[in-house]
Structure 1
Amino acid sequence: MPPVQAPPRLFGDHFLRQLLPDELGMLEKVRMLVRDVIGPKAAEVGRSDTFAWGNFHLLAREGVVATAFPRQYGGTDARQALRIRIIEELGRVCSASASIVTGTDLSSRAIVSGGSEEMKQRLVPQLCTGEVQVAFALTEPEAGSDVRGLRTTVRRDGDSYVVSGRKKFITRGTTADSFIVVARGADDPAVFIAVLVPRDAPGFSISSEVGKLGWFGVPISSLEFNDVAVPVSQRLGAEGDGFNLAQDALLRARIGHAAMALGRAIGAVEIAATYMSDRSLFGKALGEHQGAQWMLAEMITQIEGARALVAVAAEKYDRGDADVAIFASMAKLQATDLCMKVVVDALQLTGGRGYLQDFPLERFFRDAKLNQIGEGSSEVHKTVIGRDAVRRTRLAERNPCLRPGSLVDY
């Protein structure tokens, strides 16, 4: 018998035309996992804030985790054009599953970019298969988006580096085997150094998991380093490369956050639209009322616009464009703020049912907020984008409608 064709989707597949055949094959595999396993179990995963081991092992076993890593170490070196589609698919039903993919970039990118050949040969194949995990330790009690505000220090002591300080809001803190720690040089605070610290290093302690509002399945912890010594061979990149390694990891994670938020927004609209077809109000389906149609029209139109922006950011990353960081900020700002609005509106359309814990939108609502905060809050990205626009305006072509001279002379 020929395979059963899935019914058409509310949101079209027009963005898939840029994918290659093998990339389409991977995406179809993810869609099957979402339909058959991840979607049906999403409510169970979101019920308690313990690490989603089942989903992690599933995504590792099916090669999804490996998309983040180079082929020479066992990965598939997937383009961002594919990864945003994978993350969108997972985010459509389960934030924890989408975070496993985005978190792999954040937690492991510095090893790919700055690890020694010996370190990559030893660790990356195991990261691809999920045999080991790494966490990214950047945020501190008084420093997050402002990397230059870090207070944790690294000092050289013979053949070792000694790490002292604290980290906060660290995803995979209780499950990671090693931690990428970015800190200031103790002798020169202008120098940032990244080192890989094993979880069993003397003087290193990991707090219990910290309760949070939503995004269950990806718990967070705090870390403390009391003169933790690690060999110099565990440094990532050269001394002074820590800041750039952190920025590269954050760049990929920001594009991932945007794709995850879009997936959740798509899922919320799918659920709300289905409810509008099923629910009768004043003698006709809710979806036949103009007010509800207008809300649906705004949500779908804005999501498609944001999908286009995220796709552009992914293309720029794959090409290595110089302005990719600004487009990543724009994509994250637009997609995550939009997701929050869409989930609220979708919940409003579904009324009391949307507020029930048994209904998916309650979970979507709690999960949406973190995308606006993690990897740089919306306000931080507004500042980055606005500052860049002001800088470029001074060098940009002048609008032809203007006459010569200063505009204050009009």
Structure 2
Amino acid sequence: MTRTWGGEVWFGLDEEFDPQWFLSDEQKALQEELITVCHDVLRPNAIEADRNNVYPHKNVEALAKLRLLGALAPKKYGCRGENNVGITMIAETIARYGCPSTALIYMMHMVAVAGLVYRAHGNAEIQKLLSRIDADCLIGTASYTDPETGGHFWYPKTSGAKRVDDGWHVFKKAAWTTSSGFAKWYITQTTSPDFKGDYSDLSVFLFYADEVKGSPGKWDAMGMHGNQSGPVEIDSVVPENRMVGPRGDGARSNDEAIDPLAMLMYAGSYNGLALGCIDLAKRHVTRKAHVQFGRRVADYPTTQDSFGRAVMEVEASRLSAYSLAKAIDDATENGSWEIYERDPEAMPRAKFAHWCFQLKYLSTKAASELSDKMLQTCGGRGYMSDLGLERLVRDSKAGWVMGPSNEVTSQLVGKWALFGANSLDWWNQKVDEPVLMNELGKLDAQGKMKIIDKLTAELNPAPTAE
């Protein structure tokens, strides 16, 4: 089957290279509808957002009209009830045919939605938001990162919450938040009320725009200009029902809702971006001719080799993404979030954790490297803005450094593979005794006595004067 684009034959990689067997008939129809919206709305606005460094409001509105802002939320809230395969396809389609910045906006929105639907049962405020999310175009975002802990977004140091008469007084500083100042609602994570020093004791909260200090228009970056990421500050009192889930539910929410969905969305978005680079490069090399040789650029074996390698690399990443999405669907009654109503402690998604982290690494690495290769294949023309490839090249670099960065991700997966899941020290709580003893062995007697005196003073603090 040949895909069409604005009534003409699609210029990029043909549909025979799409793993359509993962999609239901309804999802295939949605994909075609979304591609049309990408042609008519998202792609033109992607160019404007990049050129003028503006937030793509019209793109978000177009997604809401397709009922995609609440795509994964259950149908009982008036939403689509999409499974993980469908969500991955949506992210990929937006990034490939439409706008990578919008794909990231959508990614962080859906991560936030996942955090809500995970604990929607029994919370009327969350249910009300979900029921209005598409009709009122309520774009949201997840604000988790911390200025002091960087890409280790699960480790909030400069945050906290306490119980007050009116509910919860929450204070939070986030380093990077997509849609900062543009989102209509935010979910965030802080240390729990009555925090006792254990940074794994986390709680999740819901805020609306007027309760958050965002940073609209301050985004100044290499690419993803429409993303409008920026700092967020929260110092607000919110009602009791704004705590999402029970107190101390944050780590469980990360493992079961936030991380699995985020990594699938990373994969969909950056696989789509990589495919977008291949599409544009294909259009160029099949049209550009060298008259002195009577050949198109695509006719050279070196070009065919480059394209073959690029296609196989991105398809391997795509197959990994859809395969994992399908596995999670199979483990969760086809992507159901209502399983947590029956068993709030169920953790079927969390068992796929290291596979999810691998997806993030594979997809963002493929996008970063393939964008460079397609630029080189297109030669000087690829460097020009009118081809559209240079914008995607700039956009492609964001995924590598987004939290958790690929360096952090590969170290986590490597340590997990070598020593098991229990070796991962997510909140810096485990003593590396061999290193400690090795360092102590370097001290002379005087140095050891200083350590002894310091530890003794900590164990036996001097009484304070009353």
Q: TM-score range by the shorter chain?
A: 0.7 to 0.9
Is 1:280 the counterpart of 2:258? The answer is no
Task: Output the CA distance in 1 between the equivalents of 2:319 and 2:272.
Answer: 13
Instruction: Give yes or no for contact 1:68–1:104 (8 Å, CA) kept in 2.
Output: no
The 8 Å contact of residues 138 and 144 in structure 1, kept in 2 or not, is answered as no
Deviation of the 1:333 alpha carbon: 0.7
Deviations 1:292-315 (CA, angstroms, capped at 9, x unpaired): 221111101111111111112211
- Structure 2 portions without partners, runs of 5+: 332-347, 423-466
Indicate how the Cα distance of structure 1 residues 370 and 152 shifts in structure 2: closer, same or farther if over 3 A, else same: same
The equivalent position to 1:318 in structure 2, one of 326, 329, 335, is: 329
Q: Is the 8 A contact 1:11 1:266 kept in 2?
A: no
Partner of 1:406 in structure 2? Answer: none
**Structure 2 contact 147–158 (Cα < 8 Å) conserved:** no
Matched residue SS, 1:180:
strand
1:388 aligned to which of 399, 413, 416: 416
CA distance in 1 between counterparts of 2:237 and 2:123 reads 22
The reply to whether residue 197 of structure 1 matches residue 200 of structure 2 is no
Q: Which residue of 10, 16, 21 maps to 2:20?
A: 16
Q: Is the 8 A contact 1:254 1:332 kept in 2?
A: yes
Partner of 2:78: 74
| Structure 1 position 118 matched with structure 2 position 124 | yes
Q: Is 1:369 the equivalent of 2:397? A: yes
- 1:182, 1:246 within 8 Å by CA — same for their partners in 2? no
Q: Which residue of 1 aligns with 2:452?
A: none
Post-superposition Cα deviations, 1:312-364, rounded to whole Å, max 9, x if no partner, equal 22112212355322111111111110111110011111122211222211110
In angstroms, what is the RMSD of aligned CA positions? 2.4
User: For residues 188 and 20 of structure 2, what CA distance do their matches in structure 1 show?
Assistant: 37
Secondary structure of residue in 1 paired with 2:253: helix
Corresponding residue number in structure 1 for 2:358: 330
User: Gapped runs of 5+ residues in structure 1?
Assistant: 395-410
Where do 1:151-190 residues align within 5 Å? Answer: 151-185=158-192, 186-190=194-198
Distance in 2 between residues matched to 1:299 and 1:107, nearest whole Å: 32
For residues 43-66 of structure 1, what are the alpha-carbon distances to aligned partners after superposition, in whole Å with 9 as ceiling and x for unaligned? 223222222111111111012223
Distance 1:67 1:6 in 2: 29
Pairwise mapping of residues 7-406 of structure 1 onto structure 2 (< 5 A)? 7=9, 9-10=13-14, 12=16, 14-93=18-97, 94-115=99-120, 116-146=122-152, 147-185=154-192, 186-190=194-198, 191-201=201-211, 204-208=212-216, 209-226=218-235, 228-247=236-255, 248-281=257-290, 282-283=292-293, 284-320=295-331, 323-391=351-419
Rounded to whole Å, the distance in 2 between the matches of 1:90 and 1:19 is 16
Shift of 1:133: 3.0
Decide which structure has the larger Cα Rg and report it: 2
**Normalised TM-score (structure 1):** 0.88
State the secondary structure of the residue aligned to 1:143: coil
Q: CA 1:221–1:393 in structure 2 vs 1: closer, same or farther (change >3 Å)?
A: closer
Letter in 2 for 1:241: D
Q: Which moved more, 1:5-14 or 1:60-69?
A: 5-14
1 CA distance for matches of 2:21 and 2:177?
A: 37
1:100 CA drift (Å): 3.7
Inter-partner Cα distance in structure 2 for 1:193 and 1:255:
23
One-letter amino acid of the structure 2 residue matched with residue 138 of structure 1: Y
Cα distance in 1, alignment partners of residues 208 and 403 from structure 2: 24
**Partner amino acid, structure 2, of 1:306:** S
On the 8 A contact 1:329/1:385 being kept in 2, the answer is yes
- Matched residues in 2 for 1:393 and 1:257: separation? 22
Measure how far apart 1:193 and its partner are: 1.2
SS in 2 for 1:311: helix
Q: Residues 258 and 289 from structure 1, CA distance in 2 versus in 1: closer, same or farther, beyond 3 angstroms?
A: same
C-alpha spacing 1:178/1:43, structure 2 compared with 1 (3 Å): closer
Counterpart AA for 2:267: A
Aligned residue type for 2:22: Q
1:331–1:130 Cα change, 3 Å: farther
- Cα distance in 1 between the residues matched to 2:286 and 2:68: 35
Of all paired residues, the percent bearing the same amino acid is 20
